[in-house]
Amino acid sequence: MDAVRQVLRRRRLRQRDAAELFGVAQPRVSDLVRGKLALFSIDTLVDMLAAAGVTVEFKLRPTRTAVASAPPDDPARAQGTRGAGPGAAG
Protein backbone atom coordinates (compact mmCIF):
# COMPACT_ATOMS: atom_id res chain seq x y z
CA MET A 1 0.00 0.00 0.00
CA ASP A 2 2.15 2.77 -1.35
CA ALA A 3 -0.33 5.44 -0.23
CA VAL A 4 0.52 4.86 3.43
CA ARG A 5 4.23 5.01 2.72
CA GLN A 6 3.70 8.20 0.72
CA VAL A 7 1.97 9.78 3.71
CA LEU A 8 5.00 8.93 5.85
CA ARG A 9 7.41 10.44 3.31
CA ARG A 10 5.39 13.58 2.58
CA ARG A 11 4.86 14.36 6.24
CA ARG A 12 8.38 13.24 7.16
CA LEU A 13 6.98 11.13 9.96
CA ARG A 14 9.13 8.88 12.05
CA GLN A 15 7.67 5.44 12.65
CA ARG A 16 6.84 6.36 16.23
CA ASP A 17 4.88 9.42 15.09
CA ALA A 18 3.16 7.50 12.30
CA ALA A 19 2.10 4.81 14.77
CA GLU A 20 0.46 7.45 16.93
CA LEU A 21 -1.29 8.99 13.91
CA PHE A 22 -2.52 5.62 12.65
CA GLY A 23 -3.45 4.31 16.08
CA VAL A 24 -1.19 1.26 15.87
CA ALA A 25 2.01 0.08 17.53
CA GLN A 26 5.35 1.17 16.04
CA PRO A 27 6.28 -2.38 14.96
CA ARG A 28 3.17 -2.41 12.74
CA VAL A 29 4.44 0.71 10.95
CA SER A 30 7.81 -0.99 10.56
CA ASP A 31 6.11 -3.99 8.94
CA LEU A 32 4.31 -1.65 6.57
CA VAL A 33 7.45 0.27 5.61
CA ARG A 34 9.23 -3.02 4.96
CA GLY A 35 6.48 -4.05 2.53
CA LYS A 36 4.97 -6.83 4.65
CA LEU A 37 1.47 -6.10 3.38
CA ALA A 38 0.29 -9.68 3.87
CA LEU A 39 0.29 -8.96 7.60
CA PHE A 40 -2.44 -6.31 7.18
CA SER A 41 -6.12 -6.62 6.43
CA ILE A 42 -7.70 -4.25 3.94
CA ASP A 43 -9.70 -2.79 6.83
CA THR A 44 -6.54 -1.96 8.77
CA LEU A 45 -4.91 -0.28 5.77
CA VAL A 46 -8.06 1.72 5.02
CA ASP A 47 -8.34 2.77 8.67
CA MET A 48 -4.71 3.91 8.68
CA LEU A 49 -5.24 5.99 5.55
CA ALA A 50 -8.45 7.47 6.93
CA ALA A 51 -6.61 8.45 10.11
CA ALA A 52 -4.14 10.32 7.92
CA GLY A 53 -6.96 12.13 6.08
CA VAL A 54 -6.70 10.11 2.88
CA THR A 55 -9.91 9.19 1.05
CA VAL A 56 -10.03 5.60 -0.15
CA GLU A 57 -12.12 4.52 -3.13
CA PHE A 58 -12.63 1.00 -4.42
CA LYS A 59 -13.32 0.26 -8.05
CA LEU A 60 -14.75 -3.12 -8.95
CA ARG A 61 -14.57 -4.64 -12.40
CA PRO A 62 -14.77 -8.11 -13.87
CA THR A 63 -11.53 -9.99 -14.37
CA ARG A 64 -10.37 -10.67 -17.90
CA THR A 65 -11.14 -14.35 -17.37
CA ALA A 66 -14.70 -13.55 -16.29
CA VAL A 67 -15.19 -11.31 -19.32
CA ALA A 68 -13.79 -13.90 -21.73
CA SER A 69 -15.99 -16.67 -20.34
CA ALA A 70 -19.16 -14.56 -20.08
CA PRO A 71 -22.03 -15.39 -22.45
CA PRO A 72 -22.26 -13.03 -25.45
CA ASP A 73 -25.30 -11.21 -24.02
CA ASP A 74 -23.72 -10.70 -20.54
CA PRO A 75 -23.15 -7.02 -19.59
CA ALA A 76 -19.67 -7.91 -18.34
CA ARG A 77 -18.63 -8.85 -21.87
CA ALA A 78 -20.09 -5.64 -23.29
CA GLN A 79 -18.14 -3.52 -20.80
CA GLY A 80 -14.93 -5.50 -21.02
CA THR A 81 -12.39 -4.49 -18.40
CA ARG A 82 -12.94 -0.77 -18.93
CA GLY A 83 -14.99 1.03 -16.28
CA ALA A 84 -16.96 -0.37 -13.40
CA GLY A 85 -19.79 -2.80 -13.91
CA PRO A 86 -23.23 -2.83 -12.32
CA GLY A 87 -23.13 -2.55 -8.55
CA ALA A 88 -19.60 -1.23 -8.44
CA ALA A 89 -18.64 1.30 -5.83
CA GLY A 90 -17.06 4.40 -7.08
Query: Over the Cα atoms of the chain, what is R_g?
Result: 18
pLDDT digits 0-9 by tens, 67-83: 677 677 766 666 554 44
Amino acid at 61: R
Q: What is the tens place of the pLDDT at every residue in 41-64?
A: 999 999 999 999 999 898 888 888
Q: Residue 18 has what pLDDT?
A: 94
Whether the model pTM is above 0.85: no
Q: Which domains does the chain have, with CATH numbers?
A: 2-51 (1.10.260), 60-85 (no CATH)
Specify whether the CB–CB gap between 42 and 16 falls below 8 A.
no
Q: How far apart, in whole angstroms, are the C-alpha atoms of residue 75 and residue 85?
A: 8
Residue type, 79: Q
